[in-house]
Structure 1
Amino acid sequence: MRINLKFFASVREKLGTSGESLDVPADVPTVGALRTLLVARGGAWAEALGEGRALRMACNQQMCDASAPLAENAEVAFFPPVTGG
């Protein structure tokens, strides 16, 4: 299945890209599994998206948690939590 990734703010800066299209294996059915797949790339990917990082996720422009299912042509976004002042 093909999905579209979007990265915002400090995540985009660490990865050096604002997004990409990715063919996701069938054994990656959720946003959480996708995050694990991306972390496995190592380096900046593990640093930006690794467990323990304060990170928000959205699927098709709806905030979601790791259990959100993926579907063909889904747009998945990763970004830091927003703080106000």
Structure 2
Amino acid sequence: DTLGHDMGDQLLSQVAARLVGSVREADTVARFGGDEFVVMLESLAPEMPEAAAQAETVAEKLLAHLNQPFELDGAQHYSTPSIG
């Protein structure tokens, strides 16, 4: 917000690309609104503890990718992503 609409659009585009690049082809990434995204994971393990562990692994991977600096108009910027 503080850098303007165009920079916000660049950031959202880069976030979307990182999310899509962090999940499998069968999974779904969608922008929910504003700066919120939804990630739906397909074909997790049938048992709840194992499925939860798989989802946690993906969440950690997503956060690791989103915690890397973003390049906006030639300058590095950091974001503060959260999952919940």
Q: Which has the higher strand share?
A: 1
More helix by share: 2
Do both proteins adopt the same fold according to a TM-score greater than 0.5, normalized to the shorter chain?
A: no
Q: Normalising by structure 2, what TM-score?
A: 0.29
Higher RCO (C-alpha 8 Å, min separation 6):
1
TM-score (norm 1): 0.28
